[in-house]
Amino acid sequence: MFGTRILRMQPTRAYAFPTPKENQSAHTISQRLRTLKRVPPELIPLGLVLGVAVGAAIYASSHKLLTDKTLRLSRNKPEDREH
């Protein structure tokens, strides 16, 4: 016999006890802005670059969809098909 033990479904340590409530849980915009002070300063340039990249991707995609007349956005209708 192999030395196996019976596996039981148990909650992990993180879920066994609820997380303590913060003194100032963010309810308003000003309180949420105060929580930005806890962001490490090294991550701010990364966030800016990521924001610019996502904005450029949204702009490029929407520009392509709105201006490209050769882009096929729907299926051919059955009456358009001629064999």
Q: How far apart are CA 51 and CA 43, in angstroms?
A: 12
What gap in Å lies between CA 17 and CA 14, rounded to an integer? 6
In a domain, 59, yes or no: yes
- The domain tally of the chain equals 1
Q: Which domain holds residue 62?
A: 43-67
Assigned domain for 48 exists: yes
Residue 54 placed within a domain: yes
Instruction: For residue 53, tell me if it sits in a domain.
Output: yes
The pTM (predicted TM-score) of the whole model is 0.48
Measured in whole angstroms, how far is the alpha carbon of residue 7 from the centre of its chain? 34
63 in a structural domain: yes
Q: Confirm whether 50 is domain-assigned.
A: yes
Predicted confidence pLDDT, tens digits, the chain (83 residues): 555 666 666 666 665 566 666 665 546 888 777 877 888 889 989 999 999 999 999 999 999 989 998 887 788 877 766 65
Query: How many Å apart are CA 10 and CA 54, to the nearest integer?
Result: 40
Residue 26 is predicted with a pLDDT of: 47
